């Protein structure tokens, strides 16, 4: 460890850009991994964050605050986490229709999911699939 620190590795700008790109891709992948959490009003989230900050640390409080539904950028992601499960189901059983997938995986609270649910899920599955392909292409095992 000490030897490593004495001899810093020269980092080329291209390497740095590649690392940034990898982090961006992982960040996108991450949006498919976590349920967005309950949609609490901002005041409740802030009150919770402040309470946690007193008990823990402001960093942990901020992290929980963000996971709990406050996303740093872009529109709130409230349903992407089901895309991976739907994609897996479709791979295992290609005969499943969009609507069947929506019945099984759509996270909205309708009793019967409709064509809009199916279309949203299809788009999320497509985005996730494209992202996985891109990662596999740019970072082959």
Which residues contribute to the site for Zn ion (CB under 5 A)?
A: 106, 108, 110, 113, 117
Give me the residue label for tokens 């402040």. Answer: 50
Rounded Cα gap, residues 138 and 122, in angstroms: 24
The tokens of 136 are what?
Answer: 């596999």
Q: Which is nearer to Zn ion, 45 or 118 (CB)?
A: 118
Rounded Cα gap, residues 135 and 139, in angstroms: 6
Q: Which is nearer to Zn ion, 61 or 121 (CB)?
A: 121
For residue 117, the minimal CB distance to Zn ion (Å) is 3
Q: Which is nearer to Zn ion, 79 or 127 (CB)?
A: 79
For residue 106, the minimal CB distance to Zn ion (Å) is 3
For residue 82, the minimal CB distance to Zn ion (Å) is 10
- 3-state secondary structure at position 2: helix
How far is the first Cα of the chain from the last one, in angstroms, to the nearest whole number? Answer: 27
Q: Which is nearer to Zn ion, 108 or 130 (CB)?
A: 108
For residue 109, the minimal CB distance to Zn ion (Å) is 8
Rounded Cα gap, residues 118 and 140, in angstroms: 32
């Amino acid at each position: 460890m000490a030897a490593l620190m004495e001899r810093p590795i020269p980092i080329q700008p291209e390497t740095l850009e590649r690392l940034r790109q990898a982090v961006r891709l992982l960040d996108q992948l991450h949006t498919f991994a976590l349920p967005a959490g309950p949609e609490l009003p901002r005041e409740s989230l802030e009150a919770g964050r402040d309470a946690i900050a007193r008990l823990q640390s402001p960093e942990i409080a901020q992290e929980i605050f963000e996971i709990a539904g406050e996303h740093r950028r872009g529109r709130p992601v409230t349903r992407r986490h089901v895309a991976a499960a739907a994609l897996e189901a479709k791979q295992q059983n290609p005969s499943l229709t969009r609507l069947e997938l929506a019945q099984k995986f759509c996270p909205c609270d309708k009793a019967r999911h409709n064509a809009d649910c199916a279309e949203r899920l299809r788009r999320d599955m497509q985005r996730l699939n494209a992202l996985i392909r891109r990662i596999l292409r740019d970072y082959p095992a």
